[in-house]
Structure 1
Amino acid sequence: MSTTTTPLDDPESIDVTPFALRIPEILENIFEHSDEKSNRTNNVLVCKVWSDPCLNVIWREVKDLSRLVKLLGPTVLRGSRLLDFSQTDKPPKWDRFSFYARRVRKIYHEGERAGTYRAGLALRSVFTDIAYQRLSNNIVPNLQVLEWHSDTSLYMQNPSILFMGPSLKHYILHEVKPSPAELSLNLRTLADRCPHLNHVKISLDSAAQSHGDIILDFVMRMADLHTLELPPFGNMAPLTNALRGHSCLRRLQIGGCHAIDGRLDKPCITSLALPSPGGDHFASLTFLSIVVPYAVVEKLFSHKFPSLQQIFIFSDLRKPETPSTIKHLIDTLTETCSQIHYIHLSYAFLPEQKYTRFPPASCIVTMAHIRPLLRCSKMQNFIFKHPFPITLDDQFAEEIATSWPDLLKLQLNHIPLVRRKDFKNCFTLRALLPFARHCPRLVHLSILVVPESSTCPTLGDIQSLPSSFFSKLYSFDVGSSMLYESDKHQVALTLSQILPPRSVLCYHNNVKNDLSSDTDEETPPLSPEARNWKSVMDKIPYMRWMDQLAKTEQRELRRKLQELETENERLRTQTQTLYA
């Protein structure tokens, strides 16, 4: 750091410096949003007042641990990737290290399996040296977030233990092949050293039931956790039973739909809950996301969830859930979750190639299976995905719109895996009318429709809507709805009149990109339905322009007629005056 005296360091000039430029919190906010990192380095040298806040921003997040390690002394790269200290006969520079380490709030370590050289730099040797020579257990005293991706089979133990301290609040661990002993040591140390921890995420590529027992012991020690993200195990019942009494737990996620292995032929979780007596039951839980079959998760809702507001359930059953199972789950959610306003029901993995034929009527979800959910008057977001289309009619759209006046997003299986051309038991474009009339806050609407000219709303229907209808609508997604050539013009005209100018019309192209590598085309061709919808989308702006032009001409014509009537009245009055 430069020792040259700058104008802002001068006692006389510091008095005229704007007070805001001497407040560390404001300076950190300014430096954090600097356009270039080089500007931050230059700002360190401006003056003593700026130096400390700027260094705080520069060192707030560390993604390359070698950058932090090199503060202790010179390093050398041995072999191709192994980093080591070059001067082993000299003691580490702990004073220099502490000057910068106390500013670190987040550490992100991507591990040795990362693709880049910087992230994949092996630090095994330097971690061992630091572990033996450190002055205290807490080498990064103000660390709040630690995200660690690694393979403990490469180490004697997980080096993330070096960075665990009482200031840590958020811990993310992703292990490739964890041994039960190393995972147990890691989590025991975490519980011992981090009493203020409130957010834990544990992701294991190959999880076994023995790992679940270790995580259970850890969870039972951490009663103050606010957010918990866990991998799925076969028997999750002991874990969920232990979490029921955690009064601070607000967010719980078990499994991630993006991480489920599609090669497995059975669900990950076979047991989720055991019978339990009454009393506190997830008293503060507001968010639940879980990958589990619907019939298994239904048993978790044996008691009321007084605070639960958002539910995400991804079935990994490898086959479509039955209509009766869906109805049972919806009935249960309606009865036990009085505060619910966001429900997402879909699948973590469903092989499309297995479902090429349209199922029998007994496998089709109908309005009767979903209707109990309309009792949840606070609903704002409802997303339902299923491989087969749902039997719906326009009257059900009226029921949804009147039951959920605060609706923000509705996604009602607009892209089923299997669709039959003669299946017309779904909404028409007239279903837009109740949403426009009763849902003023609606932002995203995704539904399957039968867009026929004979069922389109009339101009009178649209003109009878409130003046500010669909004022917040951003997207209308028709998914894989089938549109025929003969209906394009009327559909485009209707949508140009009912959709706001800022909204986007979306559609699904069901043609897969199976192009060979020697073709010059980068995108797959459009299916006939997608081509028709694209034509409608292209026509809508033109029709709006034509409508606006016609309205302008009508206003001009009315203005001229008014002028002629005024002139006629003037001449009549003048003539009467002359003859009088």
Structure 2
Amino acid sequence: MGSPPSAIAILDSVEVTQKILEAILDSPNGRRTLSRLARTCRAWLDPALSVLWRELDSLVPILGLFPPHLLKKVKKPGLGLTTPPLEKDWEKILRYGGRVLRITYDEISNNVSSSVFPIFEEHRPKTYLLPNLQHLTWRIISPENLDRAALFLTSDLQGLVLHLGGAGTKFPTLPAFLADLGGRMKLQSFSIYSSISLPDTFPDLLAPQGKVERLAVVAPGALSPTVGRWAAHLPFLKSLQLDLSGRSLFAVDGFFRELKSGDSTPNSVESHTDSGVFSGEEVDFTEIRKSLLRLTGDTKKSVAFPALTQLHLTGSAANITAFLTHLSGPLTQLEIVIEDPPDAADWRDLSALICERFGSSLTSLRIGATLSSKFGDLVRSTSRAAPALSRLTLEHLSSLPVLARLIIELPESVIFVATDITSLAKACPKLEEVRLCQQARFTAATPPQLSLEDLAPLVRDCRRLHTLAVVINAKGASQEGGPEASATSRSLLWLHVGHSWVTDTLQVAILLSHFAPYLETVKWFMERNRPGFVEANSRSWQRVSDILPHLQNLRLTERRAAVPQKEVVVEYVHVVAPRPPTSDKAIDATVVAVDCGVDARPSTTENSVQATPSLKDCQTQASPLYASVAVDAVPRTVETEVDAVPETVETEVDATTTEPATVPEPVEERENTNADLRDPLHCSGPPTHHLVSLPSFASLFGFLCRTFIAFPLSLPMRVLGAVFKARPPRDSGGDVALDTLNVRP
């Protein structure tokens, strides 16, 4: 289903869309309406979700984005988680966390269990779950929760409000926390509210924070001279909040004690006006101071708090007056929280000082009560005792020509009279919003002293007045005569009467139709459980609200009818133009030279990148490649044939027998025969063996030869002999083998 053309035209303008969604959010049940709008039309989904999640007052909506099976109780996500979340369980938190710009954690409310922080620290998928967070409010009473704020301290954080509560509780990690804060981020707004003393090195730890525009230091030690010197030289500081309660005037003056000698303050030589608050002298010291500056050469002075325009001070009226005397800059917004009721003399001095020093620049003034004053009023309201009312006079407001907003909310100083309204209308002609103790409640003993007719000067003189909240006594409305014709306002649109008294509803409606013929809204307290509620007055104001629109229409009709319809006659009259008056004036043409220094420091920006790698599960076959290799380990052998046949010598012996000669041989031939026997080859007769006698050396040599030579050779010879035995006998032609011979020894 597509969007209608009108919706598309609205969505084309981002600013118009933003304004419409913000208006819906501020209306009753605004969040529920925006949620339904986001679910109805796809075109409105993204802008509506951005407005819904832009500001959170707790961590509970963040915890509610976890899957239901992880929560201890689905309807109470703040109780914590049963099991740690997995990576897929963070998807919604990461999707919606980028839309959150402001968030608050309040440990005192106890709506979030502290067990969720360890889960965030250990299992979060990213460093910062809220990457676009701009403002963080951290209220804690436990020291261990201080360091847990680092989960949300992104580099783009612009504002931090730190509340350290708990009586007697010490925060040992506070210096380290402030050091990390000062060195890693560039804040534009920083506020610390602590019940313990600040570290001695507090200004040094926050010295790198040179871009702070809004600073609030409410803690013991905030008025030290070192803190004052550091705050006074912040070049972009526009708003400052300090607590002066329970401090002496000497301590208040000590805040400015260590300012450099060149800093300009009202008490220094360059201050050319006298406050006149505490002295009645009217001597002008301007020329004297200028002469002193020329003589000393001390004309180049730096200004303390150069950009300060908004100031919030808490304490007694005397301490606030002492602090304001040290400031000379043009304040535009001043909020003071005083002890109610204030001392009459101190309130007079404070009113005179505000009008004289900041009257030409002050556009908003708000006066509230300290916590002790509110607590006293709360005790009286619960005990049903009548409040002790006092008067806060406005007659000391002399001149506030540009003041547009005045709000006074005091529980005891709630009585205003007609002279206060007259003085206020005369001193502040450009008022647009006035609230004078709209929650005040009165008893029969002390009724409201302002009547509806007493508001005529305020309606007549303040032509820009569009909002008025004041408690009046409308029971004695005058019925004779009517209000002056000039006491009517075309700009007054909203009126809040609180616990105002009323009896004659018709007369009150007539007066209101004259004072504010274009009045759109009339409000009063209708809650029965509110202290000071009177049901009769509530019903009467309801009737006034019902009658007023009809009387307004009647009033406007009468005024249109009362305008006479006259014929317009144009006459031309020759009038000599008067000669304009002239006068001789001398102009000081001295050139004013101003030395300006430019801070040429480059602006650096620290950006953090979410470098979460994308992971993928992969399996790898890690089996190594192998091959079967067979190795022949058999050693190589070579067959070599060796002819081991020994060399043999065949010796043939002629064994042929012959017949011996019959002739006897002589002895000499026998000796020759013996000689021939030595050579058997030459033997002609049968072989005969003779024992030859050799010397002993020869016998030894022969023994050795037989033992070491002949015997080793005899073994293979026997083998060969056995081999050759198988061979057939050689035909030797009658030769006789040697082994057949019988040798005789």
**Which bin holds the TM-score, normalised by the shorter protein?**
0.5 to 0.7
Q: 1:284 to 1:291 in 2, by over 3 A?
A: same
Residue 311 of structure 2: aligned partner: 288
Separation in structure 2 between the aligned mates of residue 549 and residue 60 of structure 1, nearest angstrom = 46
Q: Which residue among 418, 421, 431 is the counterpart of 1:393?
A: 418
Cα RMSD of the aligned pairs, angstroms, is 5.4
Q: Kindly indicate whether the alpha-carbon contact (under 8 Å) linking 1:496 and 1:541 is maintained by their aligned counterparts in 2.
A: no
Residue 201 of structure 1: aligned partner: 191
Residue 560 of structure 1: aligned partner: none
> Is residue 2:430 matched to residue 1:406?
yes
Residue 535 of structure 1: aligned partner: 540
TM-score by length of 2: 0.52
Residue 245 of structure 1: aligned partner: 233
Q: Kindly indicate whether the alpha-carbon contact (under 8 Å) linking 1:384 and 1:412 is maintained by their aligned counterparts in 2.
A: yes
Bigger radius of gyration among the two: 2
**1:393 CA displacement:** 3.3
Q: Kindly indicate whether the alpha-carbon contact (under 8 Å) linking 2:497 and 2:523 is maintained by their aligned counterparts in 1.
A: yes
Separation in structure 2 between the aligned mates of residue 42 and residue 535 of structure 1, nearest angstrom = 42
Q: Which residue among 103, 112, 119 is the counterpart of 1:126?
A: 119
> Is residue 2:159 matched to residue 1:170?
yes
Please identify which structure carries the higher helix content: 1
Q: 1:340 to 1:113 in 2, by over 3 A?
A: closer
Q: 1:365 to 1:69 in 2, by over 3 A?
A: closer
Residue 328 of structure 1: aligned partner: 349
**1:147 CA displacement:** 3.5
Residue 108 of structure 1: aligned partner: 103
1:128-143 mapped onto 2 (5 Å cutoff): 128-129=121-122, 142-143=132-133
Which AA in structure 1 matches 2:182? A
**1:442 CA displacement:** 0.9
1:361-510 mapped onto 2 (5 Å cutoff): 365-367=392-394, 370-371=395-396, 373-386=397-410, 387-388=412-413, 390=415, 392-394=417-419, 397-413=421-437, 421=445, 427-447=450-470, 449=472, 451=474, 453=476, 458-459=481-482, 461-462=483-484, 464-465=485-486, 469-477=489-497, 479=499, 490-500=507-517, 502-505=519-522
Separation in structure 2 between the aligned mates of residue 57 and residue 547 of structure 1, nearest angstrom = 38
**1:298 CA displacement:** 1.5
**1:192 CA displacement:** 1.2
Residue 223 of structure 2: aligned partner: 236
Runs of 5+ in structure 1 lacking a partner?
1-17, 256-265, 514-520, 557-580
Q: Kindly indicate whether the alpha-carbon contact (under 8 Å) linking 1:68 and 1:101 is maintained by their aligned counterparts in 2.
A: no
1:312-323 mapped onto 2 (5 Å cutoff): 312-315=335-338, 317=339, 320-323=341-344
Identity %: 18
Q: Which residue among 357, 361, 366 is the counterpart of 1:344?
A: 366
Secondary structure class of the residue paired with 1:535: helix
Q: Kindly indicate whether the alpha-carbon contact (under 8 Å) linking 1:25 and 1:53 is maintained by their aligned counterparts in 2.
A: no
1:16-55 mapped onto 2 (5 Å cutoff): none
Q: Kindly indicate whether the alpha-carbon contact (under 8 Å) linking 1:295 and 1:325 is maintained by their aligned counterparts in 2.
A: yes
Q: What do the CA deviations read for 1:36-88 (whole angstroms, capped 9, x no partner)?
A: 66997999xx9xx99999998998778649969999xx97979x96658759x
Q: What do the CA deviations read for 1:160-187 (whole angstroms, capped 9, x no partner)?
A: 2244343221223333446342222211
Runs of 5+ in structure 2 lacking a partner?
1-7, 25-31, 265-301, 562-745
**1:288 CA displacement:** 1.9
Q: 1:419 to 1:64 in 2, by over 3 A?
A: closer
Q: What do the CA deviations read for 1:180-214 (whole angstroms, capped 9, x no partner)?
A: 4222221111111113x11223333xx122x2646
**1:378 CA displacement:** 0.4
Which AA in structure 1 matches 2:491? S
Which AA in structure 1 matches 2:323? L
Q: 1:430 to 1:191 in 2, by over 3 A?
A: same
Separation in structure 2 between the aligned mates of residue 314 and residue 198 of structure 1, nearest angstrom = 24
How many residue pairs were aligned?
Answer: 484
**1:545 CA displacement:** 3.9
Separation in structure 2 between the aligned mates of residue 533 and residue 21 of structure 1, nearest angstrom = 43
Separation in structure 2 between the aligned mates of residue 299 and residue 247 of structure 1, nearest angstrom = 24
Separation in structure 2 between the aligned mates of residue 99 and residue 323 of structure 1, nearest angstrom = 58
Q: Kindly indicate whether the alpha-carbon contact (under 8 Å) linking 1:388 and 1:416 is maintained by their aligned counterparts in 2.
A: no
Secondary structure class of the residue paired with 1:375: coil
Q: What do the CA deviations read for 1:434-473 (whole angstroms, capped 9, x no partner)?
A: 22222222122244556575867833x44x227x724333
Q: Kindly indicate whether the alpha-carbon contact (under 8 Å) linking 1:453 and 1:491 is maintained by their aligned counterparts in 2.
A: no
Which AA in structure 2 matches 1:380? A
Q: Kindly indicate whether the alpha-carbon contact (under 8 Å) linking 1:83 and 1:123 is maintained by their aligned counterparts in 2.
A: yes
The worse-fitting range, judged by mean Cα deviation, of 445-454 and 290-299 is 445-454
The worse-fitting range, judged by mean Cα deviation, of 349-358 and 231-240 is 349-358
Q: Kindly indicate whether the alpha-carbon contact (under 8 Å) linking 1:358 and 1:420 is maintained by their aligned counterparts in 2.
A: no
1:42-81 mapped onto 2 (5 Å cutoff): 64=59
Separation in structure 1 between the aligned mates of residue 413 and residue 53 of structure 2, nearest angstrom = 52
Separation in structure 2 between the aligned mates of residue 415 and residue 69 of structure 1, nearest angstrom = 38
**1:267 CA displacement:** 3.9
Q: Which residue among 160, 172, 175 is the counterpart of 2:149?
A: 160
Q: Which residue among 157, 163, 185 is the counterpart of 2:176?
A: 185
Separation in structure 1 between the aligned mates of residue 104 and residue 498 of structure 2, nearest angstrom = 43
